[in-house]
Structures are given as structure tokens and as C-alpha cells.
Homo-oligomer: A and B are copies of this chain.
Amino acid sequence: MSRLPDSPLAVSLGDPAGIGPEVIAKCWDNRSAFNLPPFVAIGDPRSVAAVWDGPIEVIADPREADSAFDFGLPMIQLAAAQADIPGHPSVAGAHTSLDSLELAVGLARSGSAAAVVTGPVAKEQLYAIGFQHPGQTEFVAERCGIAPANVVMMLAGPTLRTVPVTTHLPIRDVPDRLTISLIESRGRATLRGLQRNFGIAEPRLAVSGLNPHAGEGGALGRAEIEVIEPAIAALAAEGWIVTGPHPADTMFHSRARAHYDAALCMYHDQALIPIKALHFEEAVNVTLGLPIVRTAPDHGTAFDIAGQDRADPRPMAAAIRMAVECAQIRAETA
């Protein structure tokens, strides 16, 4: 591994009543086994202490994280109105989770943190306090001065990376939402992200079809001919290595995966079914197109198991590892 970045990673706790505090604490517990670099958690230390008996090192400056990391979980303390009860989300907790996210992004923007890893938030709670973004990704994009349309969500595991062109849409609305320019811009952001975050000089993108058998020459739908193929041609004309449209069912087995660096998929489940079937505990959500590195574990707040010592820290550990790897690559190629 290359040398570590000079700054620690900033990890936002997410909703204090969810499993974020528990999985972050467990990551510190298992920092050697998980091969984790120094990180600083940002939130209310009481929400960690409520679910974990280990040592917490409250620090004021991220630069202290490195030396504190050997002695306890470094935390930057946020003022919180109340200590949340695990499994019982509140409006106060939503405010704390938003403050945590905001500070983590600010630290990364200023260079005080090498990257941001975000814990899971409860969107309903955030909406209740006036949060205007579909999710954390769009919030981070806005804080970085990037239009949400120019950032893409990648799901990355050890043997597969996928990017959905459309995300939280009913299946019925997907065909009309797909346009040549949308596929093109998502594809371009993905290819640039593979260069920038993953250090792949000549990235290879495999584009899926929308319909069964990639439309079978038009017999099973015309999106491939009218929308996807022109988008592929446009990207190829810019010099990118792009193949497809591939039938979605035959592009995710191990031999097929060896032929590309990322799969650009037409809808949410087309991208998420294969990554979660293959890499459920290791799939990381990586936001591409930002001036900073941002990753997240691909799970929610899991309020139903919060505070029961049942949460699996491996997805958070994978998100932390991937954040530092991407930060290293960016630092080396900057």
C-alpha cells in the first residue's frame, strides 16, 4: 500500500439512533483486522457510548486524530440537544446527523480530512427538519458546488463496480427517463471517476441493455437502438473504451466481469442486484464527480436492530478502506 494521506478520514456518524455509532465503534475495535487507517468520527459521543464500552478520545482538531487513534476512537464532538435512544429516531437526532455531515464535508473541502465516509441517515427525519435534497449524495454535491446531475453513485465491490443511470424511479418511468444525453453524461462521469478515484488510466465501461436480451435487435424493445447505442457511440467517439449494450443477465458472471472496469446500468435494481448478490458485505457506495472523495456503506439506519450489538461493521470498514485508497490515488495523481 502507498503511504497514507497526511490527514485522517472524516466519518459522519449518521443518525445517532441508527446503527452508525455501533458500526463505527466496531471498526475502531477491529482497526487492525480490518486494516483501517486513522479516522475521526464526527457526532455526539453520547450516541457512541450508549452502544459501546470502548474508549473515546474527544479531539478538537482532525490533526490530533493520528496520535489519538491508538488510544481510543477519535471523535469531534457536536453539540446535541439530547442523547438519542438507539432505535428511536428523533428530530434532534436528525439535526445532529446533518451537522455531522456538514462538518465532515467541510473538513474534506478544506483539506483537513483526506476523505469523507458517511454513516446512514434517516431521510424521513431529515425531510421533517427541512432537508431539501433527495439524499446525502446530492447534499454533498451542493456543498461542493457541483450540480447533482454531474455526480453519479457507484457501487463498488472487490470484483464488480456498477453505476445506475436512473435510481429511485418506478420501473414504469424508467424507459422514458433514459435519454442519450443522460446515459452519455453518466458514462462520462463514471469513466472519469475510474481514472480519478481508482487510478485506471484507460478505463473500460460496459453498458447494459434495458430490455431482456438487450432488446434482441428491436424485437423486445427499442431503447437499445434508439437511446443506448447512440450514447455508446458518442462516448466512443471521444476516445473512451465503451462496449454494449450487453444483455444484463450475461454481463455479471466472473468471466464477463473481467472484461470491464465498471458496468453502466439502466436502472436501480439492474445495478444493485448483482453487486449485492456477489458482494453484500463489501459493497461500497462511492460518489463520483466530486472534488472530494466520499464513500458510504451501502446500508441504512437499521433502527430495528440498533443498540443490540447485532450490526455488521464490515460494510463500514469497506467504505473506510475504499475512501483511503481513493484518496491515495488522487494524491498521487494530483
A contact set with B: CB distance below 8 Å: 167-172, 174-175, 210-213, 215-216, 220-223, 248-250, 252-255, 267-270, 272-274, 276-278, 280
Q: A210-B171, A221-B170 are in contact. Are A277 and B252 (CB under 8 A)?
A: yes
Contact at B278–A213, with CB atoms within 8 Å? no
Q: Are A269 and B268 in contact (CB under 8 A)?
A: no
Determine the distance from Cα of A172 to Cα of B254 in the docked complex, in whole angstroms: 29
Taken together, the copies of this chain in the complex come to: 2
A-B contact pairs, 28 of them (CB 8 A): A168-B216, A169-B212, A170-B175, A170-B212, A170-B215, A170-B221, A170-B222, A171-B171, A171-B175, A171-B221, A171-B267, A172-B172, A172-B221, A212-B268, A212-B269, A248-B272, A249-B268, A249-B269, A249-B272, A249-B276, A250-B276, A253-B280, A254-B280, A255-B280, A269-B270, A270-B273, A274-B274, A277-B277
Neighbouring B residues of A269 by C-beta, 8 Å? 212, 248-249, 270
Q: Which residues of B have CB within 8 Å of A274?
A: 273-274, 277
- Chain B nearest Cβ from A161, distance in angstroms: 14
A220: B residues at CB distance < 8 A: 168-170
Given A270-B273, A280-B253, is A213 in contact with B168 using a C-beta cutoff of 8 Å?
Answer: yes
Contacts of A174 in B (CB 8 A): 171
Q: With the chains together, A154 CA to B109 CA distance in Å? A: 51
Min Cβ gap A159→B in Å is 10
Tell me the complex Cα distance, A160–B268, Å: 21
